[in-house]
A and B are shown apart, each in its own frame.
Chain A
């Protein structure tokens, strides 16, 4: 049983966001990380040194592995930032400022 069914959740209507240009449906109340997980995405950052993929690690805002670019603002912690209708979410490479 998926967690929504198990909790008999009645979420508000889903909104649309994009991840690297691809439209995704996201439920209100979820963080960017939760919305991406729900869409089957677990990686949205390339590290600064070797460009290795990363996503959520600690889930509570401590590790900074989940950094992502949302609406052109880099270095947002996806596990803390709530998803909003129309968000443009992009995989963050390096420092996210395209200057590395």
Chain B
């Protein structure tokens, strides 16, 4: 190759940034493509520049890591080794027949009507994840938001949806969300976590592999105390109430089977419910390229390579495990891609630190996943009239009917019979609920495009391939 090889990195969160910097410092020309107007992804999301914030909105840890990433990005851009395309929504990455290269198809700007294509010799997919929310009556009321969504609006827009919040669901993300909302001036009436302290204790040995993260957890606990946030463990939200917008939620204790215990229901007044049950990987781009998945995540080898030559993946797209894991995986992916693009085999000794960080973080993530599994019986008590598919307004009863009397054996058939998953979000929101209600496994969506594409953009493409 006479010209320096070109690597496209999709996603500028911790994983994509680490990959881009590792590759750029090894002489590869990097094109970093991200939908947001600033680098950072979900974890390092920054307030919009025009808001002129001089301090982060939420208690911020790992600030030094962020500053290092940002400085590296600036340095490589100034040196012409890296181009950062902000406000570019990638809807498809396609393998070019013949050349072995790739075309990244994006839509530019918030309106997303102008098509842009970028050519590259290899790609790293670092597209992160999105939140899983299991339905309950009232979860479509305005004022009910995902936990990460509340956090994203707070970090990026410096706004709160209301004054009194309940934070609920399960998973480690609930802690920074509760403390973030409280620090930003909301009254957090309760943090409602369905996992119990006993589950965490049973896995204590696995959880101590990352003492730093435990200390982070202790820091959150101290902040919750300071803000007088009441924590209810082994509790769940059974319903959200209101007309036109949220006014209260009913929470209840869970029994051993994960079902609400009769007689324990109580009502909490609130105008905001931030709710989430863990994250799911963004796999659309990988799937369209034909990359194999394992479960709901992109499958990768020790170098973070997918099974499609020239395609790497890193961060939550390959399995949910937090920012530290995303950073380690991104670094390994960038290191490997750079070596391979120059026809070399990456020297594992040169990434030994990242390898160790990755193993530790993966073990920790596996332990967390076991602790924070959604309550097993969540679907049993879900009333038939609860909306499950938010886009097409399909109820739990109709999904049950499709799987029962109509005999649907998989999510696709349920979709054809009920329209659940056929709307704008293409089943991203209702997929887990449909799986839980029907007993079908949660499969990746096999969506044709990662973003809705205007017909004009499709029509304007050359008819190659």
Contacts and interface: CB of A to CB of B under 8 A. Distances in A.
Q: Is this pair of chains taken from one and the same complex?
A: yes
A55 B429 CA distance: 15
A6 interface: yes
B51 A30 contact: yes
B304 to A, nearest CB: 24
Nearest to A49: B393
B140 A6 contact: no
Contacts of A10: 52, 54
A7 B140 contact: no
A18 interface: no
Interface in A27-86: 27-31, 33-34, 37-38, 42-43, 47-50, 52-65, 67, 73, 76, 79-82
B56 interface: yes
Contact of B161 (A28, A37, A49): A37
A53 B53 CA distance: 32
Given A30-B159, A57-B149, A61-B35, A11 B52 contact: yes
In this complex, which of B37, B49, B157 has the most chain A Cβ atoms within 10 angstroms of its Cβ? B157
B183 interface: yes
A55 B391 CA distance: 12
Contacts of A12: 50, 52
A1 B423 CA distance: 39
Contact-residue size bin, chain A (C-beta under 8 Å from the other chain): 35 or more
Interface in B411-431: 423-425, 428-429
Q: Is the interface of A mostly helix, strand, loop or mixed?
A: loop
A81 B155 CA distance: 16
Given A7-B57, A9-B47, A29-B50, A81 B142 contact: no
A64 B143 contact: no
A24 to B, nearest CB: 13
Nearest to B243: A53
A63 B35 contact: no
A38 B159 CA distance: 6
Given A57-B145, A57-B146, A64 B424 contact: yes
Given A3-B158, A82-B110, A28 B56 contact: no
A8 interface: yes
B142 A54 contact: yes
B176 to A, nearest CB: 14
Given A37-B161, A59-B150, A60-B148, A42 B54 contact: no
A65 B233 CA distance: 30
B199 interface: no
A2 to B, nearest CB: 5
Contact of A3 (B111, B160, B245, B392): B160
B110 A57 contact: no
B149 A9 contact: no
Contacts of B160: 2-3, 37
A18 B151 CA distance: 26
Given A6-B55, A42-B143, A37 B50 contact: no
Contact of B185 (A3, A8, A28, A30): A3
Interface string B42-66: 1000011111111111000000000
B149 A60 contact: yes
Given A59-B146, A62-B425, A9 B158 contact: yes
Contacts of B159: 3, 30, 34, 37-38
A30 B48 contact: yes
Contacts of B52: 9-12
B154 A3 contact: yes
Contact of A67 (B153, B162, B185, B424): B424
B145 A59 contact: yes
A81 B424 CA distance: 17
B390 interface: yes
A16 B429 CA distance: 34
A69 B323 CA distance: 35
B408 interface: no
Contacts of B102: none
Given A29-B50, A57-B145, A57-B390, A62 B184 contact: no
Contacts of A52: 140, 393
A65 B424 CA distance: 9
Contacts of A81: 110-111
A11 to B, nearest CB: 5
A58 B150 CA distance: 8
Contacts of A48: 393
A52 B390 CA distance: 11
Contacts of B157: 29-31, 33-34, 37-38
List the 5 closest pairs (A to B, CB-CB), nearest first: A59-B149, A34-B157, A29-B50, A29-B48, A64-B424
20 contacts: A7-B51, A7-B57, A8-B53, A12-B52, A27-B50, A37-B161, A43-B244, A50-B393, A53-B141, A53-B142, A55-B142, A56-B161, A58-B130, A59-B151, A59-B153, A60-B130, A64-B424, A65-B140, A73-B111, A80-B110
